[in-house]
Amino acid sequence: MINNFEDLDVWKECRNLRKQVSVVLKSFPSEEKYRMIDQLIRASRSITANIAEGHGRFHYQENIQFCRQARGSLSETLDHFICAFDEKYITKDQLIIFRDQYNLCLKILNGYIAYLQKMKLIESTKSKPLTPSTTT
């Protein structure tokens, strides 16, 4: 049963990704503190924050929009990790592990968005008034 956003599998998995980012950032050089480190922290935190905010809106369309924002932040985080690899701040193995986590989060997030879209459609068909053509 889903009581709050913390019960969502998508939020849990994206939280794991966010925690993975935090661990890796501890090894970055200090000159990146206000550049790449700050960008990665904000992008990775934005993923779970948008999922939580969307869930709190209690309307399917708004939830979908916030989940799309989360998906954008997820992709932004991957881009920063690719940049970190290019700058030799992380290894190829670290990038592969992160990419696997990214792909899992993306798959679950896309599934959640599809579910919300389906529920929105079901809700919209229930609230349509009967027209003369549907009553005969």
Sequence ranges of the domains in the chain: 5-126
What is the full per-residue pLDDT of the chain (136 aa) written as tens digits?
A: 888 999 999 999 999 999 999 999 999 999 998 899 999 999 999 999 999 999 999 899 999 999 999 999 999 999 999 999 999 999 999 999 999 999 999 999 999 999 999 999 998 888 666 555 554 4
Q: Which long-range contacts (CB under 8 A, 24 or more apart) does 82-87 make?
A: 83/36, 84/24, 84/28, 84/36, 84/40, 87/36
pTM, full prediction: 0.89
Judged by phi (left if over 0) then psi (alpha if -120 to 50, else beta), residue 131 lies in beta
Cα separation, 125 vs 115, in Å, equals 16
Q: Which CATH class is domain 5-126?
A: mainly alpha
Report the distance separating Cα 132 and Cα 99, nearest Å.
54
